[in-house]
């Protein structure tokens, strides 16, 4: 049975339509169709993700992993001067993204890829509203593989609802990334920022805390 995360949805009748909405004050239009994620409306998870997503000064290259019909990548392309790639396994979503890039007059690259299979570069930022329905196996693999496609200062930003297992996803991310923090939450959705490496200041903080803890134990033992 075809899903929004199927590679090929050719057996599904095509019935394209246009939807329009504003994201944080940026107006956009999208052609959507049967067989793609959230074809009728702007998804709430994506909305919460884009509400809290911030672009750092060092972010030059961005990947929208699992782009669907292109909301995240096109929004970032309209708002910032970035080099953006968007990928999805779903060929229909890729064709719609190509049309939507033109419709919104942005410069963004889009190509089909099963996870990172067709990707051969690294990014400063990887953003994903993960395919929860495809199962943990698929999106935990996204989180793990993203490490190999992030630059050393790179970050992964994702969004998960607590009813879809945000807590266990955070634990998993903490087991593989150097730092993980919740940068925003709304309507049960948590926006999670995971960093490949610590910044100098975060490292300094950890050393300081560690020193203070040792100092405290020393006082307790020898008072
Ligand atoms: C929750 S949707 C998000 C779509 C879009 N980014 C948005 O926020 O509206 C997840 C997307 O991941 C895609 N996806 C699922 N499995 C994938 C895989 N193995 N490789 C690439 N994309 C995949 C689905 O086709 C779907 O478009």
Q: List pLDDT tens digits, range 39-68.
A: 999 999 999 999 999 999 999 999 999 999
User: Which DSSP string corresponds to 58-83?
Assistant: T--EEEEES-TTSHHHHHHHHHS--E
Pocket test for ligand 1, best of 38, 66, 76, 96 (most atoms within 8 A of CB): 66
Q: State the pLDDT at residue 11.
A: 82
Task: Give pLDDT tens digits for 168-214.
Answer: 999 999 999 999 999 999 999 999 999 998 666 666 666 677 666 65
Q: How far apart are the first and last CA of the chain?
A: 70
Kindly give the distance from the C-alpha atom of residue 152 to the centroid of ligand 1, in angstroms, as a whole number: 25
Q: State the pLDDT at residue 202.
A: 62
Angle between helices 44-52 and 71-79 (to 10 degrees): 30
Counting atoms of ligand 1 from 1, which one is nearest the CA of 43? 9
Domain boundaries, the chain: 17-221
Query: Mean pLDDT for the chain?
Result: 92
Pocket test for ligand 1, best of 35, 37, 149 (most atoms within 8 A of CB): 37
Contacts of residue 88, defined as CB under 8 A and 6 or more positions apart, other chains included, come to: 66, 67, 68, 94, 97, 112, 113
The CATH H-level (homologous superfamily) assignment of domain 17-221 is: Vaccinia Virus protein VP39 (3.40.50.150)
Counting atoms of ligand 1 from 1, which one is nearest the CA of 46? 8
Q: State the pLDDT at residue 205.
A: 65
Written as six digits, the tokens of 89 are 């396994």
Q: State the pLDDT at residue 223.
A: 46
């Amino acid at each position: 049975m075809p899903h929004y995360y199927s590679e090929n949805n050719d057996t599904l009748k095509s019935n394209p339509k246009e939807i329009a909405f504003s994201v944080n004050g940026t107006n956009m239009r999208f052609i959507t169709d049967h067989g793609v994620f959230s074809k009728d409306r702007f998804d709430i998870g994506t909305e919460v993700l884009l509400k809290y997503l911030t672009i750092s000064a060092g972010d030059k290259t961005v990947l929208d992993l699992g782009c669907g019909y292109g909301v995240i990548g096109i929004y970032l392309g309209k708002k910032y001067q970035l080099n953006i790639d968007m990928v999805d396994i779903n060929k229909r979503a890729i064709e719609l993204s190509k049309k939507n890039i033109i419709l919104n007059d942005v410069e963004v690259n889009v190509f089909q890829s099963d996870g990172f299979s067709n990707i051969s570069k690294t990014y400063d930022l990887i953003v994903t509203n993960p395919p929860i329905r495809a199962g943990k196996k698929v999106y935990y693999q996204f989180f793990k593989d993203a490490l190999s496609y992030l630059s050393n200062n790179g970050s992964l930003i994702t969004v998960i609802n607590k009813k879809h297992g945000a807590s266990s996803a955070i634990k998993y991310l903490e087991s593989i990334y150097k730092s993980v923090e919740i940068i925003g939450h709304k309507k049960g959705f948590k926006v999670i920022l995971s960093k490949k490496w610590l910044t100098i200041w975060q490292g300094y903080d950890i050393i300081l805390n560690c020193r203070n803890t040792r100092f405290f134990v020393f006082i307790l033992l020898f008072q």
